[in-house]
């Protein structure tokens, strides 16, 4: 390299380091200067987060008359002695009274405490005018002028809704996930939100758990890559002070997705090796990607509620990982320690959480109430409070909130722009997974007459999925909407047959069958309403809900090819439905642009490329079933006798002793990483740079991918390893690399991966992360059953 070039690069690198260094020093100095001026009450105020749902015209317009009456009576505004009864009032009168009361609540419970420095953060206000007013109270009317950080759950889009996170994970595309988060940030920040509670990095191996929808799936490597991408997207690629960046919050620390039986909020029992090798890595990745904040979880793990787990919050997060953002509790997760039976009263709650390292309390108010007295009694040290406040102020300074606190309400709206909608459409395309395509039923010819059937064909609300607070269903384009807008030339009939997914009224099934009989092909849209997944929405039966399977059967009986399109918040157990569909396109709730994306795929304008980020089980009773499990001492061998073939009165041990279910076998319905394409890909020539590498070496892995069809397409090439012998038992397979590779028909490419110590290392017997010498298996392929196999060893 020429010397001048080197000099310039060197200068740029150094100036980067120095400017970061200076910025850090400057931030620290500002934090200390502020801290020195703060009273104890002001410090505790920073540690207090309050929720406020605005009661504005829009909200009131949605109240039923009953809601209004209850509000007026409960607030003591009507219905009491000497007061008018709600029944004697017009809706306008009620509206005026509610608005007046709401304004008073806002003033007494929010604005004044903000002026008094008692609130460090608000969540759930989204009205830019109100946000500006309250920020003004914090900045211009409080003693020290410290801005609030305004939080909101912006989980998979703010207004423009992207596929649910589980869907985005199916894209195996970090850039797509980053772009989606960027757009969500730009939209949210434009109304004054500067902090989101995402990404959720909880590994989930249980489809019964409703929040699997919000997860990035079952794999720590995939979750780690995509979680970090989301953090970069929200936070403006490392520049938190960008005027359109919002702070990310990685959650829930930790183990929440391992809730017993998939019942939300439940106990988890994750032992240390599993914690370090599976549950912690995605969080580590996101912390290293610069996540500004982190949220504790609701569950207790091995008896210790997460909001009191000093080992994880202090030793791991601060000690080992050097996290210097702030930690917020989950919604009342601190006071829920009372129900857990871990604290006897609110005062002990505050003591436990403060001492464990929770910097900010979400909504439950025990810090505000009890920290002064806990400090006086010496149960919580001043140092502990100071450190919590330092963490919070550091983030506020880094975000530029002191300099740039207000929303420009005059700026043109950047919500639902064409660019955002296009990105959401692309995301929905890449998130769909083609599970079955017998006889090349798909793609469909546009000249076919189509019977569009099913409750999800035109469900603008449900298509958006869980955790949508701000997306407006009037902007959703459903499949029917897409036929009306983008595919006007298609000859179709629409027969929903069911009003919604749980609808049990079968009276229109015959009409649906007739519609299919009179068409060339039926496209049946089934799935779940959005409310059936998400927080507190777990299910013990994850078949297609209601009578949807019966509808599918009825349609199939018309004798025409049937395409099943599912939109759901979780992997459903669809084995029993597969015989009634010639093709299956699975969409985790695909968001605002799901309709056009689905028809782009069905008509072959786009080629499916999504891969499953979670294992699809045959039966709910197989759960938990995940690809990266440990081996038993008696693995399945393949000649096992299944339930129906067991001879009568067979001897106890005569049929062998291996690990499987007599009824549903050992395999899932579809493995992790699985997904078809309209192209056909073939793998060959696994080529390793060496048969052995030193512990700190890098192995170059090459494989040839050929598109043996004449359809251009994209394949997610996946690399798996197995460490054959370890100081603790190692999983049978672990994903350690993936790439999306696009090939024209007939085209061939050599795909290359670099496998380094970081991917080969794990937390072994001594809980120290390192590569252990020995033999490894390696696979490259299109899913976790990849057959192109090799081996190598790692030597001292
Ligand atoms: C959820 C969090 C969420 C918070 C704030 C809680 O119920 O568990 O994930 O961020 O509410 O809305």
At 347-403, the pLDDT tens digits run 999 999 999 999 999 999 999 999 999 999 999 999 999 999 999 999 999 999 999
Task: Quote the pLDDT of residue 142.
Answer: 98
193 token code pair: 């939100």
Strand residues in 625-745 grouped as ranges (E): 681-688, 692-694, 699-707, 713-723, 734-743
What is the rounded distance in angstroms from the CA atom of residue 443 to the CA atom of residue 456?
A: 20
The residue nearest atom 5 of ligand 1, judged by CA position, is 331
322 token code pair: 């050097």
What is the rounded distance in angstroms from the CA atom of residue 188 to the CA atom of residue 422?
A: 18
Domain 681-795's class?
mainly beta
Decide whether any atom of ligand 1 lies within 6 Å of the 535 Cβ.
Answer: yes
Choose one of 124, 153, 213, 255 to mutate for the ligand 1 pocket test, by most ligand atoms within 8 angstroms of C-beta: 153
DSSP letter for 365, please.
-
The residue nearest atom 8 of ligand 1, judged by CA position, is 330
Strand residues in 569-624 grouped as ranges (E): 583-588
CB contact at 8 A, 591 and 157: yes
Task: Quote the pLDDT of residue 343.
Answer: 98
The residue nearest atom 6 of ligand 1, judged by CA position, is 331
CA atoms in the 13 A half-sphere facing the CB of 316: 20
Decide whether any atom of ligand 1 lies within 6 Å of the 330 Cβ.
Answer: yes
Cα 210 to averaged position of ligand 1 atoms, centre (Å)? 13
The residue nearest atom 12 of ligand 1, judged by CA position, is 153
Cβ neighbours, 10 Å, residue 700: 13
Cα 780 to averaged position of ligand 1 atoms, centre (Å)? 38
Choose one of 535, 536, 538 to mutate for the ligand 1 pocket test, by most ligand atoms within 8 angstroms of C-beta: 535
CB contact at 8 A, 165 and 222: no
Longest dimension (CA), the chain: 90
Q: Topology of domain 17-55+117-398, per CATH?
A: TIM Barrel (3.20.20)
- The strand order across the sheet containing 449-453 reads 433-437, 583-588, 562-568, 521-527, 449-453, 491-495
**CA torsion through residues 15, 21, 22, 23, sign:** positive
The residue nearest atom 10 of ligand 1, judged by CA position, is 197
Decide whether any atom of ligand 1 lies within 6 Å of the 153 Cβ.
Answer: yes
610 token code pair: 């999504």
Decide whether any atom of ligand 1 lies within 6 Å of the 253 Cβ.
Answer: no
CA atoms in the 13 A half-sphere facing the CB of 763: 13
Cα 251 to averaged position of ligand 1 atoms, centre (Å)? 9
DSSP reduced 3-state for 251: strand
DSSP reduced 3-state for 746: coil
Cα 330 to averaged position of ligand 1 atoms, centre (Å)? 6
Choose one of 293, 331, 332, 538 to mutate for the ligand 1 pocket test, by most ligand atoms within 8 angstroms of C-beta: 331
What is the rounded distance in angstroms from the CA atom of residue 595 to the CA atom of residue 235?
A: 29
Alpha helices in 215-335 (DSSP H): 220-234, 272-274, 281-288, 310
> Ligand 1 atom closest to Cα of 298?
8
> Ligand 1 atom closest to Cα of 197?
10
Active site positions, annotated:
330
Decide whether any atom of ligand 1 lies within 6 Å of the 529 Cβ.
Answer: no
> Ligand 1 atom closest to Cα of 198?
10
CA dihedral 99, 105, 106, 109 (to 10 degrees): -170
Cα 57 to averaged position of ligand 1 atoms, centre (Å)? 26
> Ligand 1 atom closest to Cα of 200?
9
Cα 753 to averaged position of ligand 1 atoms, centre (Å)? 38
Cα 270 to averaged position of ligand 1 atoms, centre (Å)? 22
> Ligand 1 atom closest to Cα of 252?
9
Residue 193 sits at φ, ψ, to 5 deg, of -80, 130
Decide whether any atom of ligand 1 lies within 6 Å of the 747 Cβ.
Answer: no
Decide whether any atom of ligand 1 lies within 6 Å of the 264 Cβ.
Answer: no
Decide whether any atom of ligand 1 lies within 6 Å of the 251 Cβ.
Answer: yes
Decide whether any atom of ligand 1 lies within 6 Å of the 600 Cβ.
Answer: no
Choose one of 50, 197, 469 to mutate for the ligand 1 pocket test, by most ligand atoms within 8 angstroms of C-beta: 197
What is the rounded distance in angstroms from the CA atom of residue 213 to the CA atom of residue 166?
A: 5
What is the rounded distance in angstroms from the CA atom of residue 121 to the CA atom of residue 351?
A: 21
DSSP reduced 3-state for 472: coil
What is the rounded distance in angstroms from the CA atom of residue 67 to the CA atom of residue 83?
A: 18
The residue nearest atom 7 of ligand 1, judged by CA position, is 331
Task: Quote the pLDDT of residue 67.
Answer: 86
**CA torsion through residues 289, 292, 296, 302, sign:** positive
CB contact at 8 A, 114 and 149: no
Cβ neighbours, 10 Å, residue 139: 18
What is the rounded distance in angstroms from the CA atom of residue 493 to the CA atom of residue 195?
A: 45
**Helices 548-556 and 509-517 sit at what angle, rounded to 10 degrees?**
30
So where are the chain's domains?
A: 17-55+117-398, 427-602, 681-795
At 197-208, the pLDDT tens digits run 999 999 999 999
Residue 231 sits at φ, ψ, to 5 deg, of -60, -45
Q: Topology of domain 427-602, per CATH?
A: Rossmann fold (3.40.50)
Cα 763 to averaged position of ligand 1 atoms, centre (Å)? 31
Decide whether any atom of ligand 1 lies within 6 Å of the 537 Cβ.
Answer: no
In sequence order, which residues have a C-beta less than 8 Å from that of residue 224 and are 6 or more positions away?
Answer: 201, 281, 282, 284, 285, 286
71 token code pair: 């509000």
**Helices 3-37 and 382-398 sit at what angle, rounded to 10 degrees?**
130
Cα 267 to averaged position of ligand 1 atoms, centre (Å)? 18
What is the rounded distance in angstroms from the CA atom of residue 184 to the CA atom of residue 416?
A: 10
Decide whether any atom of ligand 1 lies within 6 Å of the 202 Cβ.
Answer: no
Burial class (CB in 10 A: 0-12, 13-18, 19+), 472: middle
Task: Quote the pLDDT of residue 653.
Answer: 81
Task: Quote the pLDDT of residue 18.
Answer: 43
pTM value is: 0.95
CB contact at 8 A, 591 and 163: yes
Convert 521-560 to b/e letters by CB count within 10 Å (16 or more is b). bbbbbbbbbbebbbbebbbeebbbbbbbbebbbbbbebeb
CA 515 to chain centroid, in Å, comes to: 38
N-terminal to C-terminal alpha carbon distance within the chain: 33
R_g (Cα) of the chain, nearest Å: 28
**CA torsion through residues 323, 329, 334, 336, sign:** negative
CA distances from 554 to 499, 521, 525 (A): 16, 14, 14
> Ligand 1 atom closest to Cα of 214?
9
Using 50 as the pLDDT threshold, list the residues of the chain that sit under it.
1-19
Decide whether any atom of ligand 1 lies within 6 Å of the 331 Cβ.
Answer: yes
The residue nearest atom 2 of ligand 1, judged by CA position, is 330
DSSP letter for 516, please.
H
Decide whether any atom of ligand 1 lies within 6 Å of the 197 Cβ.
Answer: yes
The residue nearest atom 11 of ligand 1, judged by CA position, is 331
CB contact at 8 A, 412 and 186: no
CB contact at 8 A, 452 and 479: yes
Cα 631 to averaged position of ligand 1 atoms, centre (Å)? 36
């Amino acid at each position: 390299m020429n010397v001048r070039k080197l000099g310039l690069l060197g200068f740029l690198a150094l100036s980067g380091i120095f400017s970061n260094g200076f910025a850090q020093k400057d931030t620290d100095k500002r934090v200390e200067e502020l801290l020195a001026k703060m009273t104890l009450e002001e410090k505790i105020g920073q540690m207090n987060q309050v929720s406020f749902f605005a009661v504005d015209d829009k909200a009131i317009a949605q109240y039923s008359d009953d809601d209004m009456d209850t509000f007026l009576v409960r607030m003591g505004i009507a219905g009491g002695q000497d007061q008018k009864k709600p029944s004697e009032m017009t809706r306008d009168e009620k509206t005026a009274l509610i608005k007046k009361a709401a304004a008073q609540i806002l003033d007494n419970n929010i604005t004044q405490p903000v002026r008094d420095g008692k609130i460090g953060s608000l969540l759930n206000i989204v009205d830019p005018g109100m946000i500006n007013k309250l920020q003004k109270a914090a900045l211009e009317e409080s003693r020290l002028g410290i801005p609030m950080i305004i939080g909101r759950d912006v989980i998979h889009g703010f207004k423009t809704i992207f596929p649910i996170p589980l869907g985005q994970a199916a894209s195996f595309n970090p850039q797509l996930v980053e772009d989606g988060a960027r757009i969500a940030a730009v939209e949210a920040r434009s109304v004054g939100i500067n902090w989101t509670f995402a990404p959720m990095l909880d590994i989930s191996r249980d489809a019964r758990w409703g929040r699997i929808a919000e997860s990035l799936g079952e794999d720590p490597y995939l979750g780690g890559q995509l979680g970090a991408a989301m953090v970069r997207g929200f936070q403006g690629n490392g520049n938190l002070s960008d005027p359109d960046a919002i702070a990310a919050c990685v959650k829930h620390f930790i183990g929440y997705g391992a809730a017993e039986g998939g019942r939300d909020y439940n106990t988890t029992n994750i032992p240390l090796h599993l914690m370090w090798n599976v549950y912690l890595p995605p969080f580590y990745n996101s912390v290293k990607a610069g996540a500004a904040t982190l949220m504790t979880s609701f569950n207790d793990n091995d008896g210790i509620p997460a909001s009191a787990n000093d080992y994880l919050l202090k030793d791991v997060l601060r000690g080992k990982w050097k996290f210097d953002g702030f930690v917020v509790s989950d919604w009342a997760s601190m006071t829920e320690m009372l129900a857990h039976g871990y604290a006897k009263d609110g005062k002990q709650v505050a003591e436990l959480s403060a001492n464990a390292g929770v910097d900010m309390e979400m909504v439950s108010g025990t810090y505000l109430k009890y920290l002064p007295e806990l400090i006086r009694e010496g149960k919580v040290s001043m140092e502990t409070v100071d450190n919590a406040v330092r963490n919070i102020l550091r983030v506020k300074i880094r975000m530029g909130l002191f300099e740039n606190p207000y929303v420009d309400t005059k700026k043109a709206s950047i919500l639902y722009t064409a660019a955002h909608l296009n990105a959401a459409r692309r995301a929905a395309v890449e998130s769909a997974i083609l599970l079955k395509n017998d006889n090349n039923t798909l793609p469909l010819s546009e000249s076919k007459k189509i019977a569009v059937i099913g409750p999800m064909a035109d469900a603008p609300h449900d298509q958006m999925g869980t955790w949508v607070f701000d997306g407006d269903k009037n902007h959703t384009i459903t499949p029917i909407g897409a036929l009306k807008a983008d595919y006007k030339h298609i000859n179709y009939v629409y027969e929903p047959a069911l009003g919604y997914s749980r609808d049990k009224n079968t009276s229109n099934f015959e009409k649906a069958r007739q519609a299919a009989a009179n068409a060339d092909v039926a496209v049946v849209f089934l799935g779940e309403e959005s409310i059936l997944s998400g927080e507190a929405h777990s299910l013990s039966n994850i078949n297609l809900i209601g009578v949807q399977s019966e509808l599918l059967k009825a349609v199939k009986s018309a004798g025409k090819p049937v395409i099943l399109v599912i939109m759901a918040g979780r992997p459903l157990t669809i084995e029993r439905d597969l015989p009634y569909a010639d093709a299956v396109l699975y969409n985790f709730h695909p968001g605002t642009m799901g309709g056009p994306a689905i028809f782009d795929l069905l008509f072959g304008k786009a080629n499916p490329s999504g891969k499953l980020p979670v294992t699809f089980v045959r039966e709910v009773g197989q759960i938990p079933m995940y690809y990266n499990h440990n081996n038993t001492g008696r693995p399945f061998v393949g000649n096992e006798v299944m339930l129906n073939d067991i001879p009568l009165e067979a001897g106890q041990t005569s049929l062998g002793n291996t690990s499987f279910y007599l009824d549903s076998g050992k395999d899932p319905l579809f493995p992790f990483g699985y997904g078809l394409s309209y192209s056909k890909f073939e793998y060959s020539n696994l080529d390793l740079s060496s048969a052995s590498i030193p512990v700190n070496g890098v192995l170059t892995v090459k494989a040839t991918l050929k598109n043996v069809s004449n359809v251009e397409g994209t394949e997610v090439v996946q690399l798996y390893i197995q460490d054959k012998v370890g100081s603790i038992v190692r999983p049978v397979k672990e994903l350690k690399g993936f790439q999306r590779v696009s090939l024209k028909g007939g085209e061939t490419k050599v795909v290359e991966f670099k496998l380094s110590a970081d991917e080969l290392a794990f937390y072994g017997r001594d809980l120290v992360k390192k590569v252990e010498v020995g033999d490894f298996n390696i696979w490259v392929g299109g899913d976790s059953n990849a057959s192109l196999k090799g081996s190598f060893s790692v030597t001292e």
